[in-house]
Chain A
Amino acid sequence: MQTRSRTGPARHLLARAVALLCFAAICVAVVVEFARAIGPLHDRSDSPAPPEARLLAAAYSIDISRNFLLAARELIAENESYVIEAGPNVSVSTPVTLIGLRAYTGYWLLPRREEPSPVWLLCYGCDLGPWRDRIEIRWDAEPGLAIARIVR
Chain B
Amino acid sequence: MSWHSLGGLVALNLLFLVAGAGVLWGIRGWQSWGELLRLGGVAYLLGVATVSIAATEVLVAGGGVSIPVVLVLACAIAAGGVALGYALSRPWPRRWTAGEAQREPLLLVAALFAGIAAVVLAALFRSAVFYGLYEYDSWAFWTYKAKAIYELGGLDVELLRSLPGQTYPLLVPALEAMDFHFMGSADDVTLHVQFWFLTAGFLGAAAGLLRPRVPLALVTPALALIVLTPTFREASVHALADLPLDYFFVAAALASVLWLERREPWLLAAFAVLLSAAMSTKREGQLLAACLVAGLAVASVRQWRRTWLLLFVAAAGAFLATLPWRIWWTSHGFRGETPETELGELWAHRSRIFPALRLVLELVFDEGRWLILVPLAIACAVALLLLRRGRRIALVYVVTALLATAGFTWITWAIDVLPTNPSDQTPIPRAVGAIALLSAAFSPLMLSHLLPREVLESVSRRLPRIGGLRVTTGQATAWAVLAAVGYAAVFAVAGLASSSERSCPVPPARGGLKAVFVTNASLVRAQIVQTRARTVGFTSAEVGAVACDRYEVAVHGIPPGKAVEEDFKREARSAGFEVEIVPG
Q: Do A and B come from one complex?
A: yes
| Cβ–Cβ < 8 Å partners of A6 in chain B | 388
Are B528 and A3 touching (Cβ within 8 A)? no
On chain B, which size bracket covers the interface?
A: 35 or more
CB distance from A147 to the nearest CB of B (A): 9
Alpha-carbon gap, A45 to B491, bound state (A): 9
- Interface membership of chain A positions 17-51, coded 1 if the CB is closer than 8 angstroms to chain B and 0 otherwise: 01111110111011101100110011011101100
Report which A residues bind B (CB closer than 8 A).
Answer: 1-3, 5-7, 11-12, 14-16, 18-23, 25-27, 29-31, 33-34, 37-38, 41-42, 44-46, 48-49, 53-58, 60-61, 67, 70-71, 74-75, 100, 103-104, 106-107, 110-111, 113, 136-141
Which residues of the other chain, B, contact A49 by a CB distance below 8 angstroms?
130, 132
A137 to B134, CA, bound (A): 31
- Asked if A104 and B139 make an inter-chain contact with CB atoms under 8 angstroms apart, the answer reads yes
8 Å CB contact of B532 from A7, A25, A104, A138: A138
Nearest residue (CB) in A for B153 is: A111
Known: A7-B386, A23-B451. 20 other contacts (CB 8 A): A15-B383, A22-B376, A22-B447, A26-B372, A30-B224, A34-B120, A41-B123, A45-B127, A45-B491, A46-B126, A46-B491, A54-B130, A58-B134, A103-B140, A106-B144, A106-B162, A137-B535, A139-B528, A141-B527, A141-B543
Q: Cβ of A103: which chain B residues have Cβ within 8 Å of it?
A: 139-140, 144, 163
A33–B117 Cα distance when bound, in Å, is 12
Q: Is B50 an interface residue (CB 8 A)?
A: no
Residues of A within 8 Å of B494, CB to CB, are 46
Q: Is B431 an interface residue, CB under 8 A from the partner?
A: no
Q: Which B residue sits closest to A6, measured CB to CB?
A: B388
Determine the chain A residues whose CB is within 8 A of the CB of B222 once the complex forms. 26
Contact A44 B528 (CB under 8 A): no
* Nearest CB on A from B510, distance (A): 21
From known contacts A7-B387, A11-B387, A19-B383, infer whether A58 and B139 are also in contact, taking CB-CB under 8 Å. yes
Given contacts A34-B224, A48-B131, A71-B524, contact A41 B233 (CB under 8 A): yes
CA distance A141 to B532 in the complex (A): 11
- Cβ contact within 8 Å between A61 and B123: no
Q: Is the CB of B495 within 8 A of A110?
A: no
Considering only residues 130-179 of chain B, those with a C-beta below 8 Å from chain A are 130-134, 136, 139-140, 143-144, 147-148, 151-152, 159, 162-163
8 pairs across A/B with beta carbons < 8 Å?
A: A18-B450, A19-B447, A30-B116, A37-B120, A70-B522, A110-B148, A137-B535, A141-B524
Candidate in B130, B140, B218, B376 with the most chain A CB atoms within 10 angstroms: B130
A-side contacts of B353, CB under 8 Å? none
Residues of chain B within 8 A (CB-CB) of A34 are: 116, 120, 224, 228
* A21 contact set on B, CB distance < 8 A: 379
* B124 at interface, CB cutoff 8 A: yes
Give chain B nearest CB distance to A76 CB in angstroms. 12
Does B225 belong to the interface (CB within 8 Å)? yes
B520 within 8 A of A: no
Q: Establish whether residues A33 and B450, one from each chain, have CB atoms under 8 Å apart when the complex forms.
A: no
B173 CB, min distance to chain A CBs, angstroms: 12
Complex contacts, A141 vs chain B, CB 8 Å? 524, 527, 530-531, 543
Point out the residues of chain A lying under 8 angstroms from B67, CB to CB: none
Inter-chain contact A27/B113, CB cutoff 8 Å: yes
Is there an interface contact between B109 and A27, defined as CB atoms closer than 8 Å?
yes
Known contacts: A14-B386, A26-B221. The answer to whether A33 contacts B371 by CB under 8 A is yes
* B317-332 with Cβ < 8 A to chain A: none
Q: When chains A and B are docked, how far (Å) is the Cα of A30 from the Cα of B531?
A: 58
Whether B152 contacts A111 by the Cβ 8 Å rule is: yes
Residues of A within 8 A of B491 (CB): 42, 45-46
Give B126 Cβ to nearest chain A Cβ, in Å: 4
Q: A7-B388, A30-B113, A45-B127 are in contact. Are A57 and B134 (CB under 8 A)?
A: yes
Residue in A45, A46, A58, A139 whose beta carbon sits within 8 Å of that of B527 in the complex: A139
> Which residues of the partner chain B approach A140 to less than 8 Å between Cβ atoms?
531
A53 to B218, CA, bound (A): 42
CA distance in complex: A73, B189 (Å): 18
Residue pair A41, B124 in contact (C-beta under 8 Å): yes
Asked whether B427 is an interface residue with its Cβ less than 8 Å from the other chain, the reply is no
| Contacting pair B389 A107 (CB below 8 A) | no
Tell whether, in the assembled complex, residue A45 and residue B126 are in contact, meaning their CB atoms are under 8 Å apart. yes
Q: B358 contacts the other chain (Cβ, under 8 Å)?
A: no
Contact B228 A23 (CB under 8 A): no
Residues 446-468 of chain B, each 1 if its beta carbon lies under 8 Å from chain A, else 0: 01011110110000000000000
Q: Which of B123, B224, B228 contacts A45 (CB 8 A)?
A: B123
B525: interface (CB < 8 Å) = yes
Residue-wise interface mask of B (377-407) relative to A, using a CB-CB cutoff of 8 A (1 in contact, 0 not): 0011011101111000000000000000000
Bound CA span A34–B233, Å: 11
Q: Which of B492-518 contact A (CB under 8 A)?
A: 494-495, 498
B325 to chain A, nearest CB (A): 22
- By the criterion CB–CB under 8 Å, are A15 and B531 in contact? no
Given A5-B389, A61-B134, do A30 and B225 touch, yes or no (CB 8 Å)?
A: yes
Chain A residues with Cβ below 8 Å from B386 are 7, 11, 14-15
Decide yes or no whether B443 CB sits under 8 A from chain A. Answer: yes
Q: Is B119 an interface residue (CB 8 A)?
A: yes
| Set of chain A residues within 8 Å of B294, measured between Cβ atoms | none
Q: Which residue of A lies closest to B223 (CB)?
A: A30
Alpha-carbon distance between A45 and B532 when the two chains are bound, in angstroms:
42
Q: Are A41 and B120 in contact (CB under 8 A)?
A: yes
Residues of A with C-beta under 8 A to B388? 5-7
Q: Which of A20, A33, A56 contacts B451 (CB 8 A)?
A: A20
B303 to chain A, nearest CB (A): 16
Encode B195-226 as 1/0 by CB contact (under 8 A) with A.
Answer: 00000000000000000000000100110110
